Amino acid sequence: MTNVLLEKKGHVAVATINRPRALNALNSEVLEDLNELVDLVNADSEIYALVLTGSGEKAFVAGADIGEMSTLTQEEGEAFGKKGNDVFRKLETMPIPTIAAVNGFALGGGCELSMACDIRLCSEAAVFGQPETGLGITPGFGGTQRLARLIGPGMAKQLIYSARNIKAPEALRVGLVNAVYPAEELMPAAEKLAATIAANAPIAVRACKKAINEGLEVGMDEAVVIEEKLFGSCFGTADQKEGMGAFLEKRKHEPYQNK
């Protein structure tokens, strides 16, 4: 991966999109690197949570690479959208929890990338938006779908139709992000949250993610069945035995082993 840096800190992986001169804009190469990142993290059974951020002080990801997009035909544009959607969907459906640490501009594809993560934390300098209608296109990497699901269709339509950017306080107010931090506190906060999540039983955490994501796609009667099956699947695991045993014995649980 030439455009994405990966570092492991215990059971937490920190991935940094590293194209600062282009404000970490998403071109085909970056999308391919993100695809490889997901494969690498999924293949490492010792990674229990992933933090994704951007290099430099200005941008998380400023958007898709307009220089690359400007020459695309209709068929090529659809193919580029599919490429981004496939990668983002692959990220979104990773078994482990993912946290976007948004350290600056998250516009267009950058906003869409952050929304493919489970949790979004941002710095006070963060700016979010879907500016595509001002460029003569629609959001192409899931923006019309995830934004409406996260903040409601009315507010999503307003932001997408108007192509208006919003700063961190408004992003927090409308529910696009979970918390806002001073710039120097963002990564420590993101890594601390990831470590807190990673300290819990990984099988249970993954089952919770699966239950939430799959349950949101169906009616409540089907959703509770999904939960029942995942709830049951945790019993008999080493982590369930250790967790409940530690509680009953009034002691701190031993590190969980993802089994």
* Both structure tokens of 138: 């629609």
Residues classed as catalytic: 112, 132
138 to 113, 161, 171: CA distances (angstroms): 15, 9, 21
| Phi-psi group of 13: left, alpha or beta (phi > 0 → left; psi -120 to 50 → alpha; rest → beta) | beta
61 to 126, 153, 195, 236, 243: CA distances (angstroms): 10, 24, 24, 42, 39
Q: Where are the alpha helices (DSSP H) in the chain?
A: 28-43, 66-69, 74-92, 109-115, 143-151, 153-162, 168-174, 183-198, 202-215, 220-233, 238-248
The helix/strand/coil state of 130 is: coil
In sequence order, the 6+-apart residues with CB closer than 8 A to the CB of 229 are none
| Strands 127-129, 166-167: pairing kind | antiparallel
| Phi-psi group of 10: left, alpha or beta (phi > 0 → left; psi -120 to 50 → alpha; rest → beta) | left
159 to 105, 117, 130, 199, 259: CA distances (angstroms): 16, 20, 7, 37, 44
In sequence order, the 6+-apart residues with CB closer than 8 A to the CB of 1 are 33, 36, 37
